Amino acid sequence: MELAVVLAILAIAAAVVAPGVGRSADGVRARAEVGAVAAFLRSAREQAVSRRQALEVRVDDESHTLVMRHAGQAGEAGVRATRAFSPHGMSTGARFAIATPGPRTYVVTVDALTGRVSTARPTSS
């Protein structure tokens, strides 16, 4: 439920800012996706801390989605890139490069020591 609220807020913010900035529709969609990935990772960390249980975030190769599971739960074929969040807020760390149409690549980083999720502006490939 909390994740849905965060994603809705991100979508509204993207819709309000986009016309004023004058970016292309592809750029707006890309930024919204990057925001959604960051929000998902932040939510995983928050849930690990509040539930006092380690959680894993995995990338599903087939559906190109992020999957959140309790740490140690049996995985599925085609799922890779496991990133864990501890009940203390720490993480195994991660760096996700998100390619967009055109020459831009966004980077979402999870700090290993603090579990803090940050995003970087697009860079040229």
Q: Each residue of 13-32: pLDDT tens digit?
A: 877 766 655 556 677 788 88
Q: Which amino acid is at 115?
A: G
Rounded Cα distance, 20 and 18, in Å: 6
- pLDDT for the residue numbered 118: 92
Q: Which of 10-14, 69-73, 85-89 has the lowest mean pLDDT?
A: 69-73
Model-level pTM? 0.69
Nearest to 34, CA basis, from 123, 118, 125, 116: 118
Rounded Cα distance, 42 and 55, in Å: 12
Q: Which residue has the higher pLDDT, 88 or 41?
A: 41
Identify the architecture of domain 2-124 in CATH: 3-Layer(bab) Sandwich (3.55)
